[in-house]
Amino acid sequence: MFGPAVTTYVVIPILIIIARIFDVSIGTLRLIFLSKGVKLAPLLGFIESLIWLLAIGQILSNMTNWVNYVAFAAGFALGNYFGLVIENRLAIGKVILRIITTAEGAMLLDALRETKFGVTSMDAEGKFGDVKIIFMVLSRKDLDDVISLVKQHNPKAFYSIEDLRYVHDSMIPGPRSTGRMGNILAFKWLSKRK
């Protein structure tokens, strides 16, 4: 179908790029799952290493072809990019959102409470005077909606976001969900912790 030159300089490098995209994307997800305690991480590690072996095998069998080296590196870079895109779309896990507001803190607080999310607030003193600190624990998939609400009610509010590994959420009201991870796991036991 293809001549030897096309196979050597086009087909094999494209296959290496595709293999690297898959293996690095899977590796990115594996690390994220591992940090969150999801039991799917070892299976992803197996698949990742198998794909990597296939890609490196092609390079070792054609060590004089510099195009394969470029393809290997390009696949690695693209795999990192796609892994991050996939992880952002899945929005796995919970985060803590800290909001510090100096103006109209009560209006923002009321708006956040109307969403049925759990909200904890306290009065504090900042560099320029009295502030209100608001804490929320929520699913990453709900984060954009809450940040939009913050920007709508208090665009000058300072906020920070931190990933959480584990939350005992019996006291967290609001739109609770298993997140988008439920869409990719075939068995619920894979996401449970000991």
Going across the sheet that includes 158-164, the strands are 120-126, 129-139, 94-101, 158-164
In a domain, 190, yes or no: no
On whether the CB atoms of residues 132 and 100 are closer than 8 A, the answer is: yes
Question: Do 98 and 172 lie in a common domain?
Answer: yes
Domain that holds residue 30: 4-90
The confidence score (pLDDT) of residue 90 equals: 85
In a domain, 119, yes or no: yes
Question: Do 53 and 114 lie in a common domain?
Answer: no
In a domain, 188, yes or no: no
Domain end call among 75, 90, 105: 90
DSSP code, position 64: T
Q: Rounded CA gap, 40 and 29, in Å?
A: 10
On whether the CB atoms of residues 159 and 9 are closer than 8 A, the answer is: no
Domain end call among 37, 60, 90: 90
* pLDDT tens, the chain, 194 aa long: 678 889 889 999 999 999 999 999 999 999 988 888 888 999 999 999 999 999 899 888 888 899 999 999 999 999 999 999 998 888 888 899 999 998 667 888 888 888 878 899 998 988 888 899 999 999 888 999 999 999 998 888 999 999 887 777 665 555 644 444 444 443 344 444 44
The confidence score (pLDDT) of residue 104 equals: 63
Domain end call among 90, 111, 138: 90
Question: Do 123 and 109 lie in a common domain?
Answer: yes
Considering the entire predicted model, what is its pTM? 0.68
Q: Rounded CA gap, 2 and 165, in Å?
A: 50
In a domain, 183, yes or no: no
How many domains is the chain built from? Answer: 2
Question: Do 113 and 129 lie in a common domain?
Answer: yes
